[in-house]
Amino acid sequence: MENAFDLVVRGGTVVDGTGQGAFEADVAVKDGVIAAVGRVAGRGAEEIDARGQIVTPGFVDVHCHYDGQATWDNRMQPSSWHGVTTVVMGNCGVGFAPCRESDHNRLIRLMEGVEDIPFPVLSEGLPWNWESYPEYLDGLASRSFDVDVASQLPHAALRVYVMGERGVNREPATEADIHAMAAIAKRAMEAGAIGFGTSRTLNHRSSDGAPIATLTAGEDELTGIAMGMAAAGNGGLGVLQVVSDFIDPAEEFAMLRRIVERSGRPLSFSLLQSPRDPQQWRFMLEQMTEAKAAGLQIRAQVATRPVGVLFGLELTVNPFSSHPSYRAIKEKPLAERVAMLRDPEFRARLLSEEAENARAPGLSPARAWDRIFPMGGDNPDYEPTPDASIAALAEARGVDPYAMALEHMLDGGEGNGRGILYLPLLNYAENNLDHVRTMLQHDCVVPGLSDGGAHVGMICDGSFPTSNLVQWTRDRTRGPKLSIEKMIKAQCRDTAETVGLFDRGLLSPGYRADLNVIDYDRLTLKSPSVAYDLPTGGRRLVQRASGYTATLVKGQVTYRDGTPTDALPGRLLRGAQAAPLKMAAE
């Protein structure tokens, strides 16, 4: 007898993405969509025994930077190791289209500086078989992936394409410039962009130190681009994505709200607790509540653990990067550096030196050893207490913090110079994550900001989705947790809706058969490590997990127990995706 379904997941505890309580059920898949949820009598060509495990929709990560990787790689790792089945890139205004040949290196340097992806990796890896943004999408559309990929039009590339050197130098856009950018934005949305990304933060600089071209773009420019998006399709297309320093939060939010009011385009922005103003996030939540009451869709993307920097001998920086003795050996292979750092004479000289750069990480004048923590082992602690800091550990041992840090980098983690230190910079001003829990309970907030595919030598946050489950629904000890139903809804249905992907994020008949089977009790986030698998042998931080029994994209198993299969059913998503007809009618 012919099988009724392509695949049936049997007897799992279904957390369906609606936020309702979990329930035991089978999930049947046919032709790439969910066919049934409940007691399924028909057989599947393949069956997965999910008894004792949870079954969830695939995770939707709305803040990634795979703009380059997607042009040379089929697997959007590390995200796809962590149950992610849809990624959105083009965030923060950085990307590679539109772009003239003469500006290739300019955009590479910008991505290198903003997202810490080395110049040689991008220079060698990017095929540059496009100039316009629609041509870039066409190139992606010809490729297959282990996740679905959605792209946003990057403001920095757009500004440089239209304004040239004037755009790079952050000169005000003329009326003609704005008209040209609006026309390109309209065509980009019609070609399949899911939105438009821009940056208004001083933290985003090219590798030559220049601030990002979009930093001071005027309200008239942003409004013009948004109106170009509003002119696309039937009633407008695309979501606006913004990262800003919010130096004057009231003024900045009011400007963004005016743009949303005028254009009708939904907006999401990055929301983090800053040590500069640890309570500002409360104001932003209030402003979003007021905007929602007025019928406007403004949402915040919130990092669900501290955003910080990882230090190590294999990484971009470490606490000795600005010390003369270390600078003299920094280009040597790791094994040679480790041998020299273990030499008592060299080590003593290094520890006696002062950093040449007063702003060196963790060093003078701030002396931030009380905020730097050893990283290592499974399920790393992303809510560490002060007594676990390098300063506290060094005091307990009666040694200098520099010596303590060096010892961990040499012998911690996997050893042989692969130990990693962790400095939380944002979301940790009060040494706990209570504020993040409050943010996540707001109905205008979604988890985001993983930066999957970026910051390859300093940050490894593409693992956010796994961390969200391990930390927030199971293992947190320093305060209340969140229900697993709430977290799954947040990183499946809520994130999908934020960018207009209404066909996924739920386990319900008619929806995309993107799902995870997770051995929840055994779900483990591994410690970050280094791989040399980028073009030219480039280095990157990776972080894996165990406990994902299976991940499915469009009904096909892409990962079994963390190992990729041959299936690459993921494709470029061209624009927003409608809900299944019968669901849209309900």
**Domain extent listing, the chain:** 83-308+428-463, 317-423
Query: Whole-angstrom Cα distance, residue 360 to residue 362?
Result: 6
Count of beta carbons in the 10 Å neighbourhood of residue 568: 17
Cα–Cα distance between 114 and 140 in angstroms, integer?
Answer: 23
For residue 333, cis peptide bond before it (omega within 30 degrees of 0): no
SS3 197: strand
Q: First-to-last CA distance in the chain? A: 35
What are the respective helix, strand and coil percentages of the chain, to the nearest 5?
35, 25, 40
Give the position of tokens 């989705």. 465
Contact, 473 vs 546, CB < 8 A?
Answer: no
* Cα 548 from Cα 560, distance rounded (Å): 7
> What tokens were used for 349?
């000289």
The single-letter code of the amino acid at 304 is T
User: How far apart, in whole angstroms, are the C-alpha atoms of residue 276 and residue 281?
Assistant: 11
Give the DSSP per-residue string, 333-399: -HHHHHHHHHSHHHHHHHHHPPPSSTT-TT-TTT-GGGG-EEE-SSS--SS--GGGSHHHHHHHHTS
Residue range 83-308+428-463 in CATH 1.10.340.30: no
**Tens of pLDDT along the chain (586 residues)?**
589 999 999 999 999 999 999 999 999 999 999 999 999 999 999 999 999 999 999 999 999 999 999 999 999 999 999 999 999 999 999 999 999 999 999 999 999 999 889 999 999 999 999 999 999 999 999 999 999 999 999 999 999 999 999 999 999 999 999 999 999 999 999 999 999 999 999 999 999 999 999 999 999 999 999 999 999 998 899 999 999 999 999 999 999 999 999 999 999 999 999 999 999 999 999 999 999 999 999 999 999 999 999 999 999 999 999 999 999 999 999 999 999 999 999 999 999 998 877 555 544 434 589 999 999 889 999 999 999 999 999 999 999 999 999 999 999 988 899 999 999 999 999 999 999 999 999 999 999 999 999 989 999 999 999 999 999 999 999 999 999 999 999 999 999 999 999 999 999 999 999 999 999 999 999 999 999 999 999 999 999 999 999 999 999 999 999 999 999 999 999 999 999 986 443 4
Structure token digits, residue 116: 């810490």
- Amino acid 364: pLDDT: 42
Q: Are 321 and 360 in contact (CB under 8 A)?
A: yes
- Cα–Cα separations (whole angstroms), residue 483 to 15, 82, 275, 473, 569: 11, 19, 28, 6, 31
Contacts of 276 (CB under 8 A, 6+ apart): none
Q: What pLDDT score was predicted for residue 583?
A: 47
**Torsion (CA) 83, 89, 91, 96 in degrees, nearest 10:** 150
CB 197 within 8 A of CB 501: no
Identity (one letter) of the amino acid at 549?
T
Instruction: Report the alpha-carbon distance of residue 114 to residue 197 in Å, rounded.
Output: 14
d(CA 372, CA 417): 18
Among 518, 531, 529, residue whose Cα is nearest residue 562:
518
Tell me: the pLDDT tens digits for 29-47? Answer: 999 999 999 999 999 999 9
pLDDT of residue 319: 93
Ramachandran sector of residue 37 (left: φ over 0; alpha: ψ -120 to 50; beta: rest) = beta
Cis peptide preceding 365, ω within 30 of 0:
yes
pLDDT (0 to 100) of residue 414:
85
Q: What is the pLDDT of residue 88?
A: 98
